[in-house]
Amino acid sequence: MKTNSTYVSYFTLSAYVDTGVFKYLYFLIVLTFYVLIICSNVLLLVVICVNRSLHEPMYLFLCSLFVNELFGSTGLFPFLLVQILSDGHTVSTSSCFLQIFCVHCYGSIEFFTIAVMSYDRYLAICCPLQYSSRMTSNKVSILTIFSWLYSVLATVVMMSLSISLQLCGNIINKVYCDNFSVVKLACSDTTVNNVYGIVYVSTVIVALIILIFFSYMRILKVCFSGCKQTRQKAVSTCTPHLASLLNFSFGAFFEILQSRFDMNSVPNMLRIFLSLYFLTCPPLFNPLIYGLKMSKLRNICKSLAFGQIM
């Protein structure tokens, strides 16, 4: 990574502003969010793992979701806490690419898992008699491992293409590192990077969107044509999944919008909030959504809270 024979050893994150003594307040707020994310996700992971009645495909996919949210949050929050207290908002090249790996892996795994969960709900509601034979433990393992492995490999390929670029600057206009911000600094040809991004979006993201759309269209068809009991079951089991999907999609949409277009006309604090949304709100709200909306999980949490042994 050279620019005019000068090695880029660090990046400057220019989106930070001087907040004076308020930085300690921001530090406490961010630390509180991080602690809540860790505690809530770990709690539900433990509840699912220690209760055999929850060893079902739906809850096993939730375990993958919660582990990924812990992974993504850990790739962001400790870094964010250090930067809030720091006077010079710089990050070494190696640390920047490590964060890129965590952030992009988190986003890819999250989307994969949500798509797989929508397919699981489709089988449970539209093919209830075949559900046990079609969603076996082996299939759950294969889908989960594939989601993680493919996301890791895709991110490694993306990073290898970015690391080889020659950069003409080292200023990233964000509060954390992301791949597209680094690519925009390149003064060498980025055609391969762009082609890889287009291929990934067209083959993976579009396929997952089609899977999600197909699943929920079939579920909605059952809701409108089935009996009252079937509709109630569909609504009760799909509501948290749909809320999780919309929450993540909202954040991802604004992150893509901010990365691809000039957002200088948007107030700085709003840009920071929108860029952090998909990394903070899904890990923060998903445990709450699933813990409150899924009656079986909610009842077990209540039992544990009151000291009853399952």
Q: What is the pTM of this model?
A: 0.89
> What digits encode the pLDDT tens for the residues 92-138?
999 999 999 999 999 999 999 999 999 998 998 888 888 989 999 99
Give the chain's largest Cα–Cα span.
71
Q: What distance in Å separates the CA atoms of residue 105 and residue 98, rounded to the nearest whole number?
A: 11
Q: What distance in Å separates the CA atoms of residue 283 and residue 269, rounded to the nearest whole number?
A: 21
- Highest averaged pLDDT of the listed ranges 17-26, 162-171, 231-240: 162-171
Q: What distance in Å separates the CA atoms of residue 243 and residue 249, rounded to the nearest whole number?
A: 10
Asked if the model's pLDDT at residue 12 lies above 50, the reply is yes
Question: How would you class 145 by CB atoms within 10 Å of its CB: exposed for 0-12, middle for 13-18, buried for 19 or more?
Answer: exposed
Confidence label for 272 from pLDDT (cuts 50, 70 and 90): confident
Closest CA to 93 of 194, 184, 158, 177: 177
What pLDDT score does 99 carry? Answer: 94
Confidence label for 305 from pLDDT (cuts 50, 70 and 90): low
Q: What distance in Å separates the CA atoms of residue 235 and residue 240, rounded to the nearest whole number?
A: 9
User: What 3-state class would DSSP assign to 167?
Assistant: strand
Q: Are 243 and 118 in contact (CB under 8 A)?
A: no
**In this structure, is the dihedral angle defined by the CA atoms of residues 180, 182, 188 and 193, taken in order, positive or negative?**
negative
**Tokens matching residue 230:** 């079937």
Q: Are 57 and 306 in contact (CB under 8 A)?
A: no
Higher pLDDT, residue 130 or 18: 130
Beta carbons within 8 Å of 271's beta carbon, 6+ residues apart:
15, 258, 263
Asked if the model's pLDDT at residue 277 lies above 70, the reply is yes
Domain 2-305 -> CATH class: mainly alpha
What pLDDT score does 31 carry? Answer: 95
Please count the CA atoms within 13 angstroms of the CA of 78 that sit on its side-chain side: 10
Q: What distance in Å separates the CA atoms of residue 246 and residue 230, rounded to the nearest whole number?
A: 23
> What digits encode the pLDDT tens for the residues 136-166?
999 999 999 999 999 999 999 999 999 988 8
